[in-house]
Amino acid sequence: MEANQNSVLNILAAGLDCGDIVFSTHAEIALRVQRLLDDPDCATEQLGKLIAADPLLSARVLALSNSLAYNPSGRAVTELRGAIARLGFANLRAVVASVVVRQMKAGSQTPEARVMAARLWEHTAHVAALARVIARRVTHQNPEAAFFAGIVHEVGSFYLLSRAGEFSGVLSRELEAWHGEGEAIVGRAVLRALDVPDSVLEAMETLWSGYLALPPVSLGDTLLLADELSPVESPFDALDGMSRKGMAVELDMAIDDEMLSQILAESAEEVRSLTAALGEAA
Amino acid sequence: MGAPVATVDYARLPVKEIERHARSVHPGAWAVETQKPLSTLLGSCVAVCLFDPMLRIGGLNHFMLPDMGRARNGDVDSLLSGNFAMEALLNALINKGAKKVRLQAKAFGGGTIIDTDGGSLSIGMRNAGFAKEWLEREGIPLVASDFLGPWSRKVLFLPSSGEAFCKRMVTNMATADVIAREERAYAETLRQPSPTGKKIELF
């Protein structure tokens, strides 16, 4: 009975399955970097050269390596090799993903979609920073994998926004289908096109299922918890009237209030430098 | 229809499969299992999961306190129904050999799913508050919980491992109505026959 409600979402996903995903040149280079990172023989030299070919990506890599999260001592690196060494390959993956996501954000054409994309990016940065802190302090998952998962976790929504102009009214008409299966259908297709690691896909499945293990354990739980704790909600949630609206929530899971506020404070600090490093207009 | 054999290790299944196999616990009911997953759908009600890690057995209930927010002195009856729900679950577990000192709890719910002028908010809060106080009084540690907020919740509980999963759900009007109707029907059964039947507003 949801077949026609899902139609636009299915068209989008089917297009993605056929490789019909439009990436800009920035994103093309980013994807080549992504593939190089998958190569076990990948050398920093080679990576540096490829990244240097794209000024936008180079700027992001340098900015992130000099952000508070990666440079607590305040010693700035100014060349790519040093920046890559400092970030490590896992983080480089996240920067690359953020460039792709940001390109999609830039693709939003209608004013409504642009406003939503900006908000979605803010939400993304919060979730990524929170996921990193939660992984380190609560679930003991790989913090960089959690950060990466956070960066890409709204990629399906960004894609929907970038195509919203072609299907007028899709945002209001299909919101319910989107919150049902739609986000997962489109998100899965985009992530496959981006070649994200299986562990991240698995975490995304947990996120889409919505079931948080309490206490949280897996990478998926880390991501879902970050999403639930994020001080900035996804604009899609707000649209559906399921926003928290400042309503009190009590979420307890073997970490006390003091630790929770430490986690939030720590990630708030990171999010400022992250949004500065990853988030300035493309 | 490929019914699962008795030895299915539910903890290894993807959460969607756990959901499919789960036995649903309705408002006012409780259930104890050793293997089969339990599930329940909550609005402003609360579900408490109790688990004995030594015996690997667990149970879940689904309850609310009726008649909230008005008669300040007339609270005794409503607390009785909460006590009944908790004791029924506790006794069912003890009857199966569980030991109270070993029990651990996880609890969920108390959401505000229908816009009212504050009435249903206090319902959720009271239900959640009751569950916490009861567990504390009985000395059963509450290891995880997700209470309040604007969501309805679907809870899955694996009685063999004590794992619990909570999904906060989009509460559109249709869903909220269905959940509220079920909870209201349950609340009706809790109501003492009263001469002024209509004045109790639960949602």
Q: How far apart are CA A34 and CA A32, in angstroms?
A: 5
Question: Using the beta-carbon criterion (under 8 Å), do B167 and A209 form an inter-chain contact?
Answer: yes
How many C-alpha atoms does B129 have within 13 Å on its Cβ side? 9
Helix (H, G, I), strand (E, B) or coil at B143: strand
* Of the listed ranges A44-48, A185-189, A192-196, A234-238, the one predicted with least confidence: A192-196
Contact B36, B57 (CB under 8 A): no
**pLDDT for A274:** 67
Question: Using the beta-carbon criterion (under 8 Å), do B167 and A212 form an inter-chain contact?
Answer: yes
Q: Least CB-CB distance to B164: which of A176, A214, A250?
A: A214
* pLDDT bracket for residue B89 (50, 70, 90): very high
pTM of the full structure: 0.81
Interface residue A254 vs chain B (CB under 8 A): yes
Average pLDDT over residues A98-107: 72
Question: Using the beta-carbon criterion (under 8 Å), do B147 and A244 form an inter-chain contact?
Answer: no
* Of the listed ranges A88-102, A159-173, B131-145, B180-194, the one predicted with least confidence: B180-194
What is the residue whose two structure tokens read 């949801």? A2
Instruction: Measure B128 CA to nearest chain A CA, in Å.
Output: 9
Question: Using the beta-carbon criterion (under 8 Å), do B144 and A253 form an inter-chain contact?
Answer: yes
Q: Which residues of B touch A179 (CB under 8 A)?
A: 170
Phi/psi class of residue B146: alpha, beta or left (left: φ > 0; alpha: ψ in -120 to 50)?
beta
For testing contact with chain A, the best of B115, B157, B165 (most A CBs within 10 A): B165
Question: Using the beta-carbon criterion (under 8 Å), do B165 and A214 form an inter-chain contact?
Answer: yes
For residue B11, what is the nearest residue in chain A, using CA coordinates? A213
**pLDDT for A224:** 95
Helix (H, G, I), strand (E, B) or coil at A236: helix
Catalytically active residues of B are 45
Interface residue A39 vs chain B (CB under 8 A): no
Contact B111, B125 (CB under 8 A): no
Quick: pLDDT tens for B150-165: 889 999 999 999 999 9
Residue B145 structure tokens:
């919980």
For residue A236, what is the nearest residue in chain B, using CA coordinates? B170
* pLDDT bracket for residue A57 (50, 70, 90): confident
Helix (H, G, I), strand (E, B) or coil at A72: coil
Instruction: Measure B108 CA to nearest chain A CA, in Å.
Output: 9
Identify any residues that bridge with B165 across adjacent strands, giving them in sequence order: A213, B156
Distances (CA, A) of B128 to A7, A230, B71, B115, B135: 41, 23, 19, 19, 11
* pLDDT bracket for residue B122 (50, 70, 90): confident
Helices (H), B26-172: 76-95, 119-138
Q: Which of B28, B75, B67, B44 is nearest to B194 (CA)?
A: B67
Average pLDDT, chain B: 84
Q: Least CB-CB distance to A252: which of B145, B165, B172?
A: B145
pLDDT above 60 (res B67): no
* Of the listed ranges A238-242, A264-268, B27-31, B174-178, the one predicted with least confidence: A238-242
Nearest-10 Cα torsion for A180, A183, A186, A190: -150
What H or E segment, with its residue span, contains residue B174? Answer: helix B173-190
Domains, chain A, ordered by start: 7-279 (1.10.3210.10)
For testing contact with chain A, the best of B166, B169, B171, B175 (most A CBs within 10 A): B166
**pLDDT for A19:** 59
Average pLDDT, chain A: 80
Q: How far apart are CA B82 and CA B73, in angstroms?
A: 17
Decide which of A257 and B128 is more confident.
Answer: B128
Q: How far apart are CA A187 and CA A33, in angstroms?
A: 21
Question: Using the beta-carbon criterion (under 8 Å), do A240 and B143 form an inter-chain contact?
Answer: no
Q: What ipTM is given for this predicted complex?
A: 0.83
* pLDDT bracket for residue B197 (50, 70, 90): very low
Give percent of chain A with pLDDT exceeding 70. Answer: 84
In this structure, are strands B38-42 and A211-214 parallel, antiparallel, or unpaired? unpaired
pLDDT above 70 (res B74): no
Decide which of A105 and A24 is more confident.
Answer: A105
**pLDDT for B199:** 45
In chain B, domain spans: 16-66+73-189
**pLDDT for A80:** 84
Average pLDDT over residues A33-53: 80
**pLDDT for B129:** 94
pLDDT above 50 (res B198): no
Tell me which amino acid residue B53 is: P
Quick: pLDDT tens for A198-228: 888 999 999 999 999 999 999 999 999 999 9
Tell me which amino acid residue A221 is: D
Helices (H), chain A: 7-17, 25-38, 44-52, 55-65, 80-106, 111-134, 143-152, 155-163, 170-173, 175-177, 183-193, 198-209, 219-229, 235-239, 257-279
Interface residue A1 vs chain B (CB under 8 A): no
Question: Using the beta-carbon criterion (under 8 Å), do B165 and A212 form an inter-chain contact?
Answer: yes
Fold of B16-66+73-189: 60s Ribosomal Protein L30; Chain: A; (3.30.1330)
Identify any residues that bridge with B38 across adjacent strands, giving them in sequence order: B23, B157
Average pLDDT over residues B2-9: 62
What is the residue whose two structure tokens read 């240097």? A52
Average pLDDT over residues A257-262: 82
Q: Which residues of B touch A211 (CB under 8 A)?
A: 15, 19, 154, 156, 165-167
For residue A243, what is the nearest residue in chain B, using CA coordinates? B150
**pLDDT for B115:** 63
Rounded to 10°, the helix A80-106/A25-38 angle is 130
* Of the listed ranges A50-54, A236-240, B175-179, B181-185, the one predicted with least confidence: A236-240
Tell me which amino acid residue B179 is: I
Question: Using the beta-carbon criterion (under 8 Å), do B144 and A176 form an inter-chain contact?
Answer: no
For residue A211, what is the nearest residue in chain B, using CA coordinates? B167
For testing contact with chain A, the best of B13, B15, B120, B173 (most A CBs within 10 A): B15
